């Protein structure tokens, strides 16, 4: 993670390795040259040179473009990165522009952002985008360009309390996303269920979090048939990890539940070889939950948040569950397993029952649950389903403010009948059509009721596509694990604390 600094130095006097300025398209009907966003105090000749360089490089100011311009006279930097932010930039556009520029400047140590900063929320967006863009996963690489180590945001009042608090929060959240990315990018040989549990224990030791780990013996004693069933084909046994932020005088209680399949072969319903290439990412939900609860603790939010990480490795072997086996879930519901590759909903079912038993105000689960999510919404938009329209709207509002793309999806009641089993309370698969919705309908069966007898408000986030990038990076998003949902969960906790 880079250091995030504030400075009142001008664009022309700051001493860094590279400077980032924004670029917007030319106003309609006027010059075709793009317009600089920032650097208003630069000499006219320097601004003209930058615009001319932008034109010669084909820069238009469109969002997502980054062009590097070396050796501009009148500046004390080696490079200027011109980041396109579109005609009407909002916070997310600025976040992505700053992130894309800092990502392109990998190999430069110190970078300054010269965008206009009218308020603390703009400062937060720029700082967060830059920090997310400076990520690199280097565990398995002998040589790589070092990411940017220091980002200075040029502002008028660097000692302003609101600005400083906004940038500090941005650093905490970006570090949480980076920690989730690290877990997802780790090779599955190095991240067994016990290793993910150990990561949670380390997080607790470094913060005020408490952690509880249920190993295979405790899971068996407690009747967690879903987690045990999925994990029984692996030589590396499953875990249920509970991490908790419980401040004094907490304003409410949220439960976050994360799917943590550290590698998904499909079990005996085995995936094709190509389908396994990214299956180290099938624990992205658990990684997001762990990172978010840690960020909530580091930010000192006055709300209780309990994270439930349902962790197992889904492998084929002589001890693996078979199609047509029946599992008894935590809480007593029986499930006929018709497809062992529909395993995420089984581990989540156990954890949802356990989380509900604590009577939180609301529950959110996060999971790379279905390929149907990718078919419906693509690789950049996650689906949101739930049993309460108001709570689903609250999750969507938090996601929008955080800059993460989620889309509301329905839970048609008629899909429940497709999950009927002749031998058990439920089957683990139903109709293929609407598979994302069918999976969420299955999960709804495991959400408990509150003190009034009404169902606990619950939202299900299917992040299957956005959790892992196999194509080109974009904005502040790198190849590999993205850490999606971390920022949304943190924003939701902030909203809950502010009620």
Is the sign of the CA dihedral 11, 12, 16, 22 positive or negative?
Answer: positive
Indicate which residue of 9, 12, 164, 271 is catalytic.
271
Q: Is 157 a catalytic residue?
A: no
Positions at the binding site for Mn(2+): 259, 264, 282, 341, 343
Which residues are known binding-site members?
259, 264, 282, 341, 343
Which of these is catalytic: 345, 392, 444, 487?
345
Do 305 and 363 meet the contact criterion of CB atoms below 8 Å apart?
Answer: no
Give the phi and the psi of residue 7 in degrees, each rounded to 5.
-145, 145
Is 164 one of the annotated active-site residues of the chain?
no
Which are the catalytic amino acids?
A: 271, 345
């Amino acid at each position: 993670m880079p250091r995030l600094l504030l400075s009142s130095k001008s664009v022309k006097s700051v001493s860094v390795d590279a400077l980032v300025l924004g670029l917007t398209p030319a106003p309609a009907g006027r010059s075709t040259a793009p317009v600089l966003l920032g650097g208003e105090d630069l000499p006219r000749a320097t601004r003209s040179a930058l615009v001319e360089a932008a034109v010669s490089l084909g820069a238009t100011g469109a969002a997502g473009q980054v062009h590097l311009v070396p050796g501009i006279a009148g500046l004390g930097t080696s490079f200027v990165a011109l980041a396109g932010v579109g005609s009407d930039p909002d916070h997310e556009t600025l976040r992505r522009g700053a992130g894309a520029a800092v990502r392109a400047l990998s190999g430069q140590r110190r970078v300054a952002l010269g965008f206009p900063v009218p308020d603390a929320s703009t400062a937060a967006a720029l700082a967060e985008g830059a920090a997310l863009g400076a990520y690199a996963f280097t565990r398995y690489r002998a040589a790589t360009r070092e990411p940017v180590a220091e980002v200075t945001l040029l502002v008028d009042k660097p000692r302003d309390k609101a600005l400083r608090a906004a940038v500090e929060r941005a650093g905490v959240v970006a570090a949480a996303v980076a920690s989730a990315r690290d877990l997802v990018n780790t090779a599955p040989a190095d991240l067994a269920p016990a290793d993910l549990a150990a990561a949670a224990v380390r997080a607790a030791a470094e913060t005020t979090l408490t952690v509880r780990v249920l190993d295979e013996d405790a899971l068996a004693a407690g009747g967690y048939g879903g987690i045990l069933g999925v994990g029984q084909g692996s030589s590396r046994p499953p875990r249920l990890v509970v991490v908790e932020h419980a401040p004094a005088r907490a304003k409410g209680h949220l439960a976050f539940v994360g799917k943590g399949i550290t590698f998904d072969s499909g079990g005996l319903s085995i995936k094709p070889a190509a389908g396994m290439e990214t299956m180290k990412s099938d624990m992205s939900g658990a990684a997001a939950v762990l990172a978010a609860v840690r960020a909530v603790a580091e930010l000192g939010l006055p709300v209780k948040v309990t994270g439930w990480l349902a962790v197992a490795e889904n492998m084929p072997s002589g001890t693996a569950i078979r199609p047509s086996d029946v599992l008894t879930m935590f809480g007593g519901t029986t499930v006929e397993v018709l497809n062992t590759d529909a395993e995420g909903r089984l581990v989540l079912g156990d954890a949802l029952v356990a989380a509900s038993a604590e009577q939180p105000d609301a529950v959110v689960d996060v999971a790379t649950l279905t390929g149907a999510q990718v078919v419906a919404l693509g690789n950049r938009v996650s689906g949101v389903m739930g049993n309460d329209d108001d709570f689903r709207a609250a999750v969507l509002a938090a996601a929008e403010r955080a800059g993460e793309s989620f889309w509301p999806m329905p839970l048609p009641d008629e899909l429940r009948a497709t999950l009927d089993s002749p031998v058990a309370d439920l089957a683990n698969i139903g109709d293929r059509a609407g598979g994302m919705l069918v999976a969420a309908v299955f999960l709804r069966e495991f959400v408990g009721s509150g003190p009034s007898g009404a169902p606990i408000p619950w939202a299900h986030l299917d992040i299957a596509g956005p959790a892992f990038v196999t194509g080109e990076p974009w904005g502040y998003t790198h190849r590999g694990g993205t850490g999606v949902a971390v920022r949304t969960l943190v924003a939701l906790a902030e909203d809950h604390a502010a009620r």
